[in-house]
Amino acid sequence: MPPALARVRAYLDAATRFSEAEILVVDDGSRDGTAAFVESIAAQDPRLRLLRNPGNRGKGYSVRHGMREARGGWVLFSDADLSAPIEELDKLLDAAQNSGAQIAIGSRALDRSLIGVHQSAIRELAGIALNRIMRLITGLRFADTQCGFKLFRRDAAQRLFSRQQLDGFTFDVEDLFIARLLKIPAVEVPVRWNHVEGTKVGFLVGPRFFLDLFLIHCYRLGGKYRE
């Protein structure tokens, strides 16, 4: 967290187009010094806010919490390890504004030459296989739904995340599925990306992924995603 937060703050200091930006850090029930560190920086930097989850609730819950608390006209969520560099935000915003999209999602799959440090071969192949199955089941056509670097226009974010039901790692697919149902335009953008050791995503995510895809259809049929 310390180097990532320093890099984000330095980027915003130098980017005139984001002169009124805010930084939200969502703490998902951590037991280390993360929250205390963020609060110490927030005391010096009014752009920074710490949001606390009621215990450990998962990545999907954390992103939803941050998105619904955000105040800016455009809202980016990024993994704390900055595997997609914060500087790629310019690329997402330009792509969204130039295409008229309300969502811009970072993608590792559209141009794999932009990947500096790869995951293990078995993880990359598993990701490709899961994406193909996801596309078959959901009808989505994105080459990479799981990259933790996505930009939303705030009004679109409010519509999507108020309907999100999943708290785990499949929330990305659910949100893009909801966006298609609500006819919210999205664009996929190739971004630089580097694998960072220490990921907590294990192979048990696979079975849970399939269950969540089934639940997404159940939620659709149950009317959870309606306007």
Whether 102 contacts 186, CB under 8 Å: yes
The mean per-residue pLDDT over the stretch 200-214 comes to: 74
pLDDT in the model for residue 214: 95
Q: Does 226 fall in a domain? A: no
Distance of CA 80 to the CA centre of its chain: 10
The mean per-residue pLDDT over the stretch 188-200 comes to: 86
The mean per-residue pLDDT over the stretch 21-46 comes to: 95
State the DSSP H helix or E strand holding residue 151, giving kind and residue range, or none if neither.
strand 149-153
Question: Could you give the percent of the chain with pLDDT greater than 70?
Answer: 96
State the DSSP H helix or E strand holding residue 49, giving kind and residue range, or none if neither.
strand 48-52
Record the tokens describing residue 211, joined without a space.
């269950």
Q: Does 51 fall in a domain? A: yes
| Distance in Å from the first CA to the final CA of the chain | 37
Q: Does 227 fall in a domain? A: no
Q: Does 201 fall in a domain? A: yes
- How many domains is the chain built from? 1
pLDDT in the model for residue 194: 94
Instruction: Say if residue 190's pLDDT is above 90.
Output: yes
Q: Give this prediction's pTM.
A: 0.94
Q: Does 31 fall in a domain? A: yes
pLDDT in tens, 130-139: 999 999 999 9
pLDDT in the model for residue 226: 93
Q: Does 160 fall in a domain? A: yes
Instruction: Say if residue 204's pLDDT is above 50.
Output: no
Domain that includes residue 187, residue range? 2-221
CATH number where 69 lies: 3.90.550.10
Q: Does 197 fall in a domain? A: yes
Instruction: Say if residue 21's pLDDT is above 70.
Output: yes
Whether 79 contacts 106, CB under 8 Å: no
pLDDT in the model for residue 198: 67
The mean per-residue pLDDT over the stretch 166-191 comes to: 97
Record the tokens describing residue 61, joined without a space.
């819950």
Residue 199 per-residue DSSP state? -
Q: Does 87 fall in a domain? A: yes
DSSP-H helix ranges across the chain: 2-14, 34-42, 59-69, 89-99, 121-138, 154-161, 171-181, 205-221
Whether 108 contacts 191, CB under 8 Å: yes
